Structures are given as C-alpha cells and as structure tokens.
Amino acid sequence: MSYKKVLTIQDISCVGQCSLTVALPVISACGIETCVLPSAVLSTHTAGFTGYTFRDLTEDMPAIKDHWVKEGIAFDAIYTGYLGSTKQIDYVSDIFDAVGKEGALKIVDPAMADNGKLYYGFDDAFVQAMKKLCAKADYLVPNITEACFLTDSEYKTEYDKAYVDALLEKLSALGSKNIILTGVSYREGKTGVVVFEDGEYKYYEHDKHSKGCHGTGDIYASAFVGAIVRGKSAYDAAKIAADYVLACIISTQEEDNHWYGAKFETSLGKLIEMVNS
Ligand code: PXL
C-alpha cells in the first residue's frame, strides 16, 4: 500500500465530535498521514451550545501556506470542511493551487447548512463564495440542504428522483467533477447517498434511524476521504462511509443524552476493516 498524505482544513471545535476532532482520527485510522490547518478554534460547535468561544485563525492561513511552500511540503489530497468566512474560502482556493501535488484530489464538504437552514453565522455571501470553491472540487460532498443553497433550489423534505437529478445537474454545472449527495431518502425508513461520477448516477440505500445525530456529515466526509485516498472507487467509498456512519448512529442511540455528536470512536475498527478489504 502506498502511504499518502492528506491535508484537511476546518475548525477545531474542542468539544462536540465534529470537524477536525473527527477528521484527524478517522482519516488517520484509514492508514493515511493527516495534516491539519485549523480555520478557527471554538470551545464547542455552534449547533445547540450557547456562549461558545471563537478564535478566528483566518490571518494565520496564508502564513502557514507560505511556510509549507518554502519547506517543499505538498499533499496527495486536500479536504475542506467547515470554514468560518468568505475570506477563508479565498485562502483555501490558493492553498489548493500552492500545496497540492500534481493530480492531488480536492474534496469539498460545503459544511454550512442542514435541515433546510444555514448554520448560525452563515449568509448569502458565504454561499456565493462556496459556489466558486465547488468549481475546484474533484469530489463535492453536500447534503440536500447544502445542495439547495448551492443551486438556488427550493428545499423539500419529500421529493422524487427528478428533483434529485435536477439538483445533481445544477451542482455539476458549478464545475464539481463528481458529486456525492448525502441524506437522499425516497421512502419511509430508508435513506442513502447518490454518487454522480463521470455523468453516471448510482444510489446506495440503507436503513434510516429516526433520531439523527449532529456531526454525521463530518464523519461521512472524513470516512469518504479515507476510503477514496486509499484507492476505492467513488461508489465503494460512498458505501463504506454510509455503513460507517450508520454504525456510529446506532451506537450513539443507545444513550439518550449524547445529543451533541455521534460516537464515531467505537466503530473505527469496522471502518478500518472495510477500508482494508
Ligand atoms: O458539523 C459541522 C460543524 C463544524 N464546525 C462547527 C459547527 C458545525 C455545525 O454546526 O458549528 C463550529
């Protein structure tokens, strides 16, 4: 197996099982060197906690990049998650160009919305900037809500295949090469992911657990990155990530008050097995 080096750019939420505290262990568990560029440090994530601290690291980003360029440091893949401002999106775009090896994979999780709403602190200017970053993505990993914001489409909780196909067409018109659309549910009790690769759609459906958990989008994207960088096809990586997230949700549901994140740690063994098989 060739040893790969990935850079992931997102915040550190010190407590809350999301962003870098998920990406670092999950991608490392896949046997990949995982380097980080923290975009901000928060005491907790912003979904459900109040009064959290927020240390913005935007102005550190170009200096960190310049140092890496000087040292000749480059990455096989770059994966971006939650970013705190439109300026950070511009910096990330430069980082893609400056420290990606020839043919480096760019994976963009446009982490900014869920359940029909933007996360606290995001606005239309951020959505417009994120559209531009999507153009650089080899793999774009949005949920349905993010897909709607990125394509100026109406958010629906009930829809058919024609609605999903239209979202995918519009997302690919933004310039993303391949799209993994998560949380696509066509019938009661089931959900799944659509993989749109080289103009072809494939759907992977699995059981839906009624109590959703916060942070599953970050777990999904991190596991997808781990599997795709280890050489799996987009469909296999999307399936591995879906099966892993489902295992995380099931173990989290055993406890009533674990509302702020999913217990991704206890299923890492299963992820490692799937990535190595
Ligand atoms: O899980 C996405 C995420 C990441 N980072 C921070 C967040 C959220 C979602 O709310 O608040 C700080």
Residue 254 in this model has a pLDDT that exceeds 90: no
pLDDT surpasses 90 at 269: yes
Q: Is the pLDDT of residue 92 over 70?
A: yes
Nearest alpha carbon to residue 108 among 76, 129, 68, 135: 135
Please say whether the beta carbons of 30 and 226 come within 8 A: yes
The DSSP symbol for 191 reads E
Q: Using a 6 Å cutoff on CB, does residue 46 contact ligand 1?
A: yes
> What band does 128 get if pLDDT is binned at 50, 70 and 90?
very high
Q: What atom of ligand 1 comes closest to residue 44's alpha carbon?
A: 12
The token pair that represents 211 in the structure block = 């109590």
Confidence of residue 1 (pLDDT cuts 50, 70, 90): low
Question: What's the pLDDT tens digit per position in 228-248?
Answer: 999 999 999 999 999 999 999
**Mean residue pLDDT across the chain:** 96
- Quick check: CB of 215 below 6 Å from ligand 1? yes
pLDDT confidence of 41, banded at 50, 70, 90? very high
Rounded to 5°, the CA angle 112-100-74 comes to: 120
Ligand 1 pocket, 82 CB below 6 A? yes
Q: State how far the Cα of 159 lies from the Cα of 261, in Å rounded to an integer.
A: 27
